[in-house]
Structure 1
Amino acid sequence: MPYLTSAVLGAALLCFAVLGLRARWADGPLDDYVTARNSQGAQAIGLSFLASSMGAWILFAPPEIGAFVGPVALAGYAIGSSLPFLVLGLYGPAIRRYLPQGRSIGEFAEACYGVGVRRWVSFVSVAYMACFLAAELTAIGAIAALLSDVPPSLVILGLAVVTLAYTTVGGLRASLATDRWQAWLLLALLVLVGGVAWWWLPPMPAEAVMPSVPAGSALSVALTLVIAVTAANLFHQGYWQRIWAAEDDRALGRGALLGATSSLLVVMAIGGLGMLAAMQGLALGEPPIPFFALLSAAPAWLGLPALVLAVTLVASSVDTLQNAIASMAVASSGRRGLSVRAARLATVALMVPVVWVALQGFSVLRLFLIADLLCAAIVVPVLLGLWQRMSPLAAVGGGLAGLFGAVLPGWVTQGSLSAGVLAASFPGSIPTLAPFLGALLASTLVSLLIAWLRPGVRLHLASKGDT
Structure 2
Amino acid sequence: MLYLTIAALAAVLLLFVWVGLRTRRNEALDDFITARNSQNRWAIGLSFLASGMGGWILFAPPEVGVLVGPLGLAGYALGAALPFIVFALCGPAIRRRLPAGRSIGEFAEHCYGGGVRRWVGLISLLYMTCFLVAELTAIGAITAMLSDINGSLIVIGVAVTTLIYTAWGGLRASMTTDRWQGWLLIALMLLVGGVAATRLPAFSPDTALPGIPASAALSVALTLVIAVTAANLFHQGYWQRLWAAQDEKALGQGALIGGVATILVVALVGGLGIMTVMSGADVGSPPIPFFAMLRDASGWLALPALVLAITLVASSVDTLQNAIVSLAVTERKGLSLAAARWFTFVLMIPVVIIALQGISVLRLFLIADLLCATAVVPVLLGLWQRMSPAAAIAGALAGLVGAALPGWIATGSALQGLLLASFPDTVPTLPPFLGALAASALVSVLFALLLPARKPELAG
Classify the TM-score, shorter chain: over 0.9
Report the Cα distance in structure 1 between the residues aligned to 2:283 and 2:411, rounded to whole angstroms.
34
Per-residue CA deviations over 1:28-75 (Å, capped at 9, x if unaligned) read 200000000000000000000000000000000000011111011110
Other-structure match for 1:214: 213
Q: 1:382 aligns with which of 363, 379, 386?
A: 379
TM-superposed CA distance for 1:24, in Å, is 4.2
Report the Cα distance in structure 1 between the residues aligned to 2:295 and 2:452, rounded to whole angstroms.
61
Per-residue CA deviations over 1:256-277 (Å, capped at 9, x if unaligned) read 0000000001001100011111
TM-superposed CA distance for 1:215, in Å, is 1.1
SS at match of 2:355: helix
TM-superposed CA distance for 1:287, in Å, is 2.2
Pairwise CA RMSD of aligned residues? 0.9
Structure 2 matches for 1:48-447, cutoff 5 A? 48-335=47-334, 338-447=335-444
TM-superposed CA distance for 1:351, in Å, is 1.2
Given that 1:122 and 1:328 are in contact with CA atoms closer than 8 Å, whether structure 2 keeps it comes out as yes
SS at match of 1:8: helix
TM-superposed CA distance for 1:334, in Å, is 2.5
TM-superposed CA distance for 1:201, in Å, is 1.2
Report the Cα distance in structure 1 between the residues aligned to 2:343 and 2:393, rounded to whole angstroms.
29
Structure 2 matches for 1:5-84, cutoff 5 A? 5-26=5-26, 28-84=27-83
Report the Cα distance in structure 2 between the residues aligned to 1:251 and 1:213, rounded to whole angstroms.
41
Report the Cα distance in structure 1 between the residues aligned to 2:8 and 2:195, rounded to whole angstroms.
20
Report the Cα distance in structure 1 between the residues aligned to 2:152 and 2:210, rounded to whole angstroms.
36
Given that 1:24 and 1:169 are in contact with CA atoms closer than 8 Å, whether structure 2 keeps it comes out as no
Per-residue CA deviations over 1:346-378 (Å, capped at 9, x if unaligned) read 111111111111001110110110000000000
Report the Cα distance in structure 2 between the residues aligned to 1:277 and 1:199, rounded to whole angstroms.
11
Given that 2:63 and 2:287 are in contact with CA atoms closer than 8 Å, whether structure 1 keeps it comes out as yes
Per-residue CA deviations over 1:168-205 (Å, capped at 9, x if unaligned) read 00000000000000000000000000001011112111
Given that 2:112 and 2:458 are in contact with CA atoms closer than 8 Å, whether structure 1 keeps it comes out as no
Given that 1:137 and 1:156 are in contact with CA atoms closer than 8 Å, whether structure 2 keeps it comes out as yes
Report the Cα distance in structure 2 between the residues aligned to 1:143 and 1:457, rounded to whole angstroms.
50
Which residue identity is paired with 2:447? I
Report the Cα distance in structure 2 between the residues aligned to 1:408 and 1:281, rounded to whole angstroms.
42
Given that 2:33 and 2:240 are in contact with CA atoms closer than 8 Å, whether structure 1 keeps it comes out as yes
Given that 1:125 and 1:235 are in contact with CA atoms closer than 8 Å, whether structure 2 keeps it comes out as yes
Deviates more, 1:38-47 or 1:326-335: 326-335
Given that 1:229 and 1:372 are in contact with CA atoms closer than 8 Å, whether structure 2 keeps it comes out as yes
TM-superposed CA distance for 1:455, in Å, is 2.6
**Percent identity among equivalent residues?**
66
Which residue identity is paired with 1:165? I
Which residue identity is paired with 1:457? R
Given that 1:389 and 1:458 are in contact with CA atoms closer than 8 Å, whether structure 2 keeps it comes out as no
Q: 1:454 aligns with which of 435, 448, 451?
A: 451
TM-superposed CA distance for 1:310, in Å, is 0.2
Q: What number of residue pairs does the alignment pair up?
A: 460
SS at match of 1:367: helix
Report the Cα distance in structure 1 between the residues aligned to 2:457 and 2:281, rounded to whole angstroms.
61
- Structure 2 runs not aligned, ≥5 long: none
SS at match of 2:313: helix
Given that 1:98 and 1:461 are in contact with CA atoms closer than 8 Å, whether structure 2 keeps it comes out as no
Q: TM-score under structure 1 normalisation? A: 0.97
Per-residue CA deviations over 1:75-123 (Å, capped at 9, x if unaligned) read 0000000010010111111111111111000000011111110000000
Given that 1:24 and 1:171 are in contact with CA atoms closer than 8 Å, whether structure 2 keeps it comes out as no
Given that 1:237 and 1:324 are in contact with CA atoms closer than 8 Å, whether structure 2 keeps it comes out as yes
- Structure 1 runs not aligned, ≥5 long: none
TM-superposed CA distance for 1:141, in Å, is 0.2
TM-superposed CA distance for 1:461, in Å, is 4.8
TM-superposed CA distance for 1:339, in Å, is 1.5
Given that 1:373 and 1:435 are in contact with CA atoms closer than 8 Å, whether structure 2 keeps it comes out as yes
Report the Cα distance in structure 1 between the residues aligned to 2:88 and 2:236, rounded to whole angstroms.
15
Rate the CA distance shift 1:114–1:125 in 2: closer, same or farther, 3 A. same
TM-superposed CA distance for 1:207, in Å, is 2.1
TM-superposed CA distance for 1:143, in Å, is 0.3
Which residue identity is paired with 1:342? A
Give the ranges of 4+ consecutive aligned residues of structure 1 lying more than 4 Å apart after TM superposition. none
Q: TM-score under structure 2 normalisation? A: 0.99
Per-residue CA deviations over 1:306-325 (Å, capped at 9, x if unaligned) read 00000000000000000000
Report the Cα distance in structure 2 between the residues aligned to 1:193 and 1:21, rounded to whole angstroms.
29
Given that 2:201 and 2:280 are in contact with CA atoms closer than 8 Å, whether structure 1 keeps it comes out as no
Report the Cα distance in structure 2 between the residues aligned to 1:362 and 1:399, rounded to whole angstroms.
31
Report the Cα distance in structure 2 between the residues aligned to 1:274 and 1:323, rounded to whole angstroms.
32
